């Protein structure tokens, strides 16, 4: 008799998994499976962290069961990509995946073929998304529009003046509401000479380093 684990998920705390549990227990009985663990999550399907699913995967890696029964595929994964990742891990662990509502069973040839089809469709979808993004970026470049993060509108002359009056990188970052790295980059690009007693810029440290002598 194969050992089976059940996984149920409901979206909100006021919902109850009893309907899913009843159907899965009946399915396990019909297939002559021994239920060894039951996992339940009461959490939105979009959440990445699910305590019940995480524990289920940990038990699967320890070899605690050979069959995983779920009420529906969308109860397990938050996306097609995540669903395929779960299926792939079940396959590597030689665990059969059975879905009650979709009548999907990876223990048979038809179930394995359906998983392959889902994988191909998901890969096609990813390719189409990537191509649409690239096409949009090409069009934006042709139209002269900026791509990426909006450029910072910094008063470079003011930064240089404040630095010349002795302000540190931290003080400048606070004054202009940007990071110390941004301030350092602006000063490097403006080739600002550092007043005596102030720390050097990274490029200035390199310029002021004494030449190495041959051993």
Instruction: Give the burial string for 146-177 (b: 16+ CB within 10 Å, else e).
Output: eeeeeeeeeeeeebbebbeeebebeebbeebe
Asked if 8 and 75 count as a contact pair (C-beta separation under 8 A), the reply is: yes
Asked if 32 and 64 count as a contact pair (C-beta separation under 8 A), the reply is: no
Assess whether 29 carries a catalytic annotation: no
Cα distances (angstroms) measured from residue 168 to each of 66, 174, 186, 202, 208? 63, 10, 14, 14, 19
Crossing angle of helices 169-176 and 180-189, in 10° steps, is: 100
Catalytic residue among 11, 119, 168, 203: 11
Residue 39, Cβ neighbours under 10 Å: how many?
21
Residues labelled as active-site residues: 11
């Amino acid at each position: 008799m194969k050992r089976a684990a059940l996984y149920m998920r409901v979206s909100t705390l006021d919902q109850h998994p009893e309907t899913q549990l009843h159907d899965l227990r009946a399915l396990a009985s019909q297939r002559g499976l021994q239920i060894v663990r039951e996992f339940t999550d009461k959490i939105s399907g979009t959440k990445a962290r699910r305590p019940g699913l995480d524990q289920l995967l940990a038990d699967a890696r320890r070899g605690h069961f050979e069959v995983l029964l779920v009420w529906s595929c969308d109860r397990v994964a938050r996306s097609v990509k995540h669903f395929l990742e779960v299926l792939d891990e079940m396959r590597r662990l030689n665990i059969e995946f059975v879905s009650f509502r979709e009548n999907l069973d990876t223990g048979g040839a038809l179930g394995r073929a359906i998983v392959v089809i889902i994988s191909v469709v998901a890969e096609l979808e990813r390719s189409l998304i990537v191509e649409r993004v690239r096409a949009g970026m090409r069009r934006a470049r042709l139209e002269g529009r900026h791509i990426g993060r909006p450029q910072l509108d910094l008063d470079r002359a003011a930064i240089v003046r404040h630095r010349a009056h002795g302000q540190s990188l931290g003080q400048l970052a606070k004054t202009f509401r940007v990071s110390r790295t941004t301030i350092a980059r602006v000063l490097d690009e403006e080739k600002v000479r550092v007043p005596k007693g102030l720390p050097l810029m990274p490029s200035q440290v390199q310029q002021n380093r004494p030449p190495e002598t041959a051993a």
